Every structure is written in C-alpha cells, then in structure tokens.
Amino acid sequence: MEQLKQRILQEGSVVNDQVLKVDALLNHQVDPQLIMEMGREFARRFREERITKVLTVESSGISIAFAAAFELGVPLVFARRRKSVTTDNDAYCERVPSFTKGIVTDIMVSKRFLSSEDRVLFIDDIIANGDAARGLIRIVETAGAELAGMGVVLEKTFQAGGRTIREQGIRVETLVKISSLAGNRIVFEE
C-alpha cells in the first residue's frame, strides 16, 4: 500500500534500530479512512477463505481488525490482556512476553467466542518477534479452530516474527514491510 508507506514516512519516527513510533497512525491516533482502506485490502486478500471470525489482541489491533471484519461481514473478537495469571475454565489463556514493554502479560479469549466451528483471520498492527502472535495462534489451536491466515499492517522483516510464523505453514499477508531502521532511516522492502 503506497499510501500507507507515505504516511509512515510523514508521520512515523524512528525510536531506535528496532522500534518505529507510529502512534499518529496505529497506536494512539487512527485515521478512520486509512484504517477502512486497510480493512478492505485484508478482506480482498482473504475473501475466498470462508472466514467466520476475525481475531486480534487489544488494543492497537482492534481498529484494523474491525475494518476487516466489517468488510468480510463477520464478528470481530479481540483477546483481552490481563496483568496477572488467573486460571479460567471458561477461557483460553496464554502467557506472552511484550517486545516494547519488556513485561509478560496473559492474553485470553472466552470459550464462548471461539470454537472448532470457526475459520479465523488473525489481524495485527505490527509484527516484531512474534511472541504475542504465537500466543494467539496457540489459542486458536487450543480452541480447535482453523487459522486461515494472518494479516499484518507493518512487518519488520529484520525481526523474526513473520518468518517463523510462515515457517509454521501459516499464510501471513503484510501491507508494508520494513527491512531496516538503522541510522534513523526507514527502509521499505519491495
């Protein structure tokens, strides 16, 4: 998405070699027009997959996942985050480390909203090491649901998340790939 690249160049800023600040676009403020555009693009790529549910993790994935779910005409479920471990018989829970915050959190999805009947499209804003993503994928597996694929807005290809998830045999569709943030410069991968 050329438009998205331009917006990242205009409104994003490099924090360090690993982290791109995009709070004007994805993590704090969102542009509804641009978000709906992304939702349409993911829906277009996964239209033939008979998706029954779009899944994401709160909070930054929600707007994009909503747009995709709206376009596909299916519900959106967002995994909730919890600060402490709680065992819950009515929910699927996974522990995941957070790349930016340097802490561990638990993500959970109620068993009422995900089942073996579902064919899931997983949407996320940014993929780094893929820890959070792998946690959510384990939840889909535990639920016995089918994962049709993953749609990611921004993939940092110098980190291993996208690659390792593809190596698991999962289809990962990315709108924008960034191959380097070194020297305060955003480099897109073609």
Of the candidates 98, 142, 157, 164, which one interacts with ligand G4P according to CB under 6 A? Answer: 98
Residues 105-124 that bind Na ion (CB under 5 A): 124
Region binding ligand G4P by CB under 6 A among candidate stretches 30-38, 46-54, 59-67, 166-174: 59-67
Q: To the nearest whole angstrom, how small is the minimum distance from the Cβ of residue 76 to ligand G4P?
A: 14
Instruction: Rank residues 29 and 115 by Cβ distance to ligand G4P and give the closer one.
Output: 29
Q: Is 1 helix (H, G, I), strand (E, B) or coil?
A: coil
Residue 161 binds ligand G4P, judged by CB under 6 A: yes
Of the candidates 60, 74, 140, 177, which one interacts with ligand G4P according to CB under 6 A? Answer: 60
Of the candidates 72, 79, 126, 143, which one interacts with ligand G4P according to CB under 6 A? Answer: 126
Contact 40, 4 (CB under 8 A): no
C-alpha pair distances (Å), 146 with each of 44, 86, 127, 162, 187: 19, 26, 21, 19, 34
Q: How far apart are CA 125 and CA 57, in angstroms?
A: 9
- Can you list the alpha helix ranges (DSSP code H) found in the chain? 2-11, 32-46, 62-72, 131-142, 161-167
Site string for Na ion, 122-151 (x = CB under 5 A): --xx--------------------------
Contact 136, 79 (CB under 8 A): yes
26 is in an annotated binding site: no
Q: Is 167 helix (H, G, I), strand (E, B) or coil?
A: helix
